[in-house]
A and B are shown apart, each in its own frame.
Chain A
């Protein structure tokens, strides 16, 4: 009899029930989309922000101490170097999968034919690595300096043999020397000289515009610094810092064992730096604070925005449900009054109405979830140009939200139902 009455309501009030299901579906779809994007947005926003460069720099320990003591600006050699043969180890740390790109740098002071000095920087461009883990990685400046504008030519391709003596020249230097793609540029290092062919001219908008960028071994050869590097720039996907990360950044030794484990196993920029230091001999890895902070701030704001949209959509759904369920109960007041008159207690009538609404909510919620998953993919493709992974935890979250919103939205109607007097609706008094 109970389900006959529930079914009867669906048949008789199908338009109203459809509207309630639609309202719930709308709220659930927005909640699903926003929660899915929110839970996946960390990686997506991080990946977007990686386009703005590295967020960790690694330098020799001595160089770092001198920097701190004398505030020496980067680029000036202190005579201590990192080891090129340890570069692969960066992809063996605990958070190896979060290291999306990195490149070593070595600077050599050289002299041009006209007698002027120039900085020749050796680095990777699209350096191919076969990692000990079996992975393959193409890392280097092509992706790490993706915002550089190539004025002429193209990025240097390390993976072709004919590019061995090629160079990328900054736009200022190219203007000064009237260099174009294909022109030779001769430089004299402290140990040997070299002639490079210009592969591309770039505009970096900084000091780099007066420098020459060449493959790592070419720059090392100028000063006979085989296997030596000045610094490493690392681009890593990180989690925004919290109090624990800030405390650990100052002194990891101050953490308790459980705090240390939590910190070490979370992709804070400080814990990734710490792990890089563990594998690169005599190195100091530090966060490029401005980038790391901006990433955290943008991520937090993006997540807050998603959360606000979710909350607002659920409030909207609750208000819609409130109106529709109240209207439905008002329409059925004589039927409900009759049930009470022939012996139905408030609990029985409330149970009947809530069962109808919950069934409607489940149908609406399921439809909303599927549509929301679709919305999430549209957002993913439009904003991040990649698909959004629907995390399993979105399902219980949306289910709880739908049930809560439905119950909260139904409360005024239930209150009305509890106060409905059979005498008033059956006799019109």
Chain B
């Protein structure tokens, strides 16, 4: 059984079909990139997979549970327990330090544990920046705090929306390298991006166009390392 399966998923806003009969399977431990131009339905798909939205039609099976039929409260629980979210805009709480931002995810999941949060920051190479506020961190460092926050509750899937969209090449490489390590550790990664270089680092890539999957390719030369063109 696939970890995630989308069956005939539609998302319709009036006359607009943001997602139009999408079918997709993601296996446990897989690294998938979702590509597409603006307005292709990438964010809509991410919101649905991330339990932040429901499809208009179709089924979304996460670990065998059809999340399309779940209540808002259950979706929050599923999101909290199974999904780690990474955003393009980082969305760190600006009055909390890096370690407190990581602990925030623990707080809403179970019990905040500073030691564990510091270990998560160490994994992303930010142990020495734990007590810094987001405003005192670079963009790359902020995104690494987001990665640590996404990891802290050991989710089934890490869902990253344009994780390198606001980063320079050096920081982009650091973040992708983090993804590669996570993949090696068996974490399932779904990365939504419009950047071909980031997409090419994944094992598999699907391209969305006008709400439909227009292309699906498997990376024969998968290494997990970014290659800048």
Contact = CB atoms under 8 A, between A and B. Distances in A.
Interface of A: 1-2, 4-5, 8-9, 11-12, 334-335, 337-345, 348, 421-423, 426-427, 429
A14 to B, nearest CB: 11
Contact of A426 (B76, B87, B94, B112): B87
A426 B87 CA distance: 8
A5 B96 contact: yes
A345 B94 contact: no
A9 B96 CA distance: 10
A4 B76 contact: no
Nearest to B106: A1
A338 B108 contact: no
Contacts of B47: 423, 427, 429
A81 B103 CA distance: 92
B149 interface: yes
B80 to A, nearest CB: 3
Nearest first, the 9 closest Cβ-Cβ pairs linking A and B are A343-B80, A8-B95, A423-B52, A343-B108, A423-B47, A1-B107, A338-B91, A344-B108, A12-B95
B85 A11 contact: no
11 contacts: A5-B93, A12-B95, A335-B91, A339-B108, A341-B79, A343-B81, A348-B108, A423-B47, A426-B52, A427-B47, A429-B47
A427 B112 CA distance: 27
Contacts of B46: 427
Contacts of B96: 4-5, 8
Interface string B52-84: 110000000000000000000100110111000
A340 B89 CA distance: 16
Interface of B: 43-44, 46-47, 50, 52-53, 73, 76-77, 79-81, 85, 87, 89, 91, 93-96, 100, 103-105, 107-109, 112, 149, 153, 161
A427 B95 CA distance: 21
Given A335-B93, A342-B149, A343-B105, A1 B100 contact: yes
A341 B49 CA distance: 12
Main secondary structure of the interface of A (DSSP, over half): helix
A1 B117 CA distance: 13
A12 B94 contact: yes
A335 B94 CA distance: 9
Given A342-B80, A345-B76, A427-B161, A422 B52 contact: yes
A421 B52 contact: yes
Given A341-B79, A342-B80, A423-B52, 13 more contacts: A5-B96, A8-B96, A335-B94, A342-B79, A342-B105, A342-B149, A345-B76, A348-B108, A421-B53, A426-B87, A427-B46, A427-B47, A429-B44
A343 B95 contact: no
A423 B91 contact: no
Contact of B109 (A12, A338, A343, A429): A343
- Which of B94, B105, B108 neighbours the largest number of chain A CB atoms within 10 Å of its CB? B108
B165 to A, nearest CB: 12
Nearest to A332: B93
A88 to B, nearest CB: 74
